[in-house]
């Protein structure tokens, strides 16, 4: 018996499967139209559509599809966990301690350090800060690490200097701001679509009727539109924020 045969280990349940002829109708579930909410019996299982309605992450598929050309298996596992903690929460960073990552990945500290070092070398990860809560990591998408533009499928927050981040205006001046929400174009009033997005954004933050929150949301929507973001993309981000807020509130409910 050759060495390759002696060390070969099959996949449980796979050896009993015979390779079938090409037939588009052989597995009925594969003929379902996209979005068709049905499951069909095959091989003792029901195969078909699923829809995850809560506690899910919006992640670029490109981040999964390109990992094979960049990372080894263990490195992929660590990167995907960090991707979930960062981009899965709607931000390009996360704070994670070694103990948390060791528990998620079932790795020793030595192996974890080696893997994190490899991710940093491949420019998929960059440590920025450390305290008792853990390390603050900037998590890069594969395209970013390779110097490619992110494209239209990823909506980034506005680049804002720290000095420009101001607290919401005082309630006593909010009525005037609602009457004429601030925009980059003096004298221009928000369109109905812009105002609808602003109300949705304020609502997703838990303050749908607060005048100060509405004024801030209106300004942010206006600036995003000025940067070339489409209303559909802004609405998608607002929906993701709303879902995260609902999930956080549900976790806090006794």
pLDDT tens string 187-203:
567 788 888 888 898 88
Q: Is the pTM of this model over 0.75?
A: no
DSSP classification of residue 158: P
Closest CA to 104 of 127, 130, 86, 82: 82
Chain segment 142-167, per-residue pLDDT in tens: 999 999 998 888 888 888 887 755 55
- Return the CATH class of domain 61-145: mainly alpha
Tokens at residue 113, please? Answer: 């350090």
Rounded to 5 degrees, φ, ψ at 43 are 60, 30
Q: What is the pLDDT of residues 104-151, one digit of tens each?
A: 999 999 999 999 999 999 999 999 999 999 999 999 999 999 999 988
Given a contact cutoff of 8 angstroms between Cβ atoms, the answer to whether 143 and 64 are in contact is no
Q: Which residues, including other chains, have CB under 8 Å from residue 21's CB and lie 6 or more apart?
A: none
Q: Where in the chain is the domain with CATH 1.10.10.10?
A: 61-145
């Amino acid at each position: 018996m050759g060495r390759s045969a002696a060390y070969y280990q099959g996949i449980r349940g796979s050896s009993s499967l015979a390779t079938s002829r090409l037939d588009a109708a052989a597995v009925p579930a594969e003929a379902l139209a996209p979005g068709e909410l049905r499951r069909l019996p095959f091989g003792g299982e029901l195969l078909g559509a699923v829809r995850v309605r809560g506690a899910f992450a919006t992640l670029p598929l490109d981040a999964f599809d390109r990992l094979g050309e960049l990372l080894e298996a263990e490195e992929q596992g660590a990167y995907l966990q960090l991707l979930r903690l960062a981009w899965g929460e709607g931000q390009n960073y996360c704070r994670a301690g070694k103990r948390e990552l060791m528990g998620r990945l079932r790795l020793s500290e030595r192996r974890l350090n080696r893997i994190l070092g490899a991710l940093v070398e491949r420019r998929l990860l960059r440590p920025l800060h450390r305290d008792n809560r853990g390390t603050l990591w900037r998590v890069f998408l594969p395209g970013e690490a390779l110097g490619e533009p992110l494209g239209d499928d990823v909506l980034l927050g506005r680049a804002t200097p720290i000095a420009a981040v101001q607290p919401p205006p005082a309630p006593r001046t909010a009525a005037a701001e609602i009457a004429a929400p601030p925009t980059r174009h003096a004298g221009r009033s928000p369109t109905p679509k812009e105002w609808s997005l602003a109300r949705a954004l304020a609502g997703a933050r838990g303050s749908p009727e607060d005048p100060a929150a509405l004024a801030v949301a209106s300004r942010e929507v206006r600036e995003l539109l000025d940067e070339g973001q489409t209303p559909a993309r802004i609405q998608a981000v607002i929906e993701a924020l709303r879902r995260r807020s609902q999930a956080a509130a549900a976790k806090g409910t006794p």
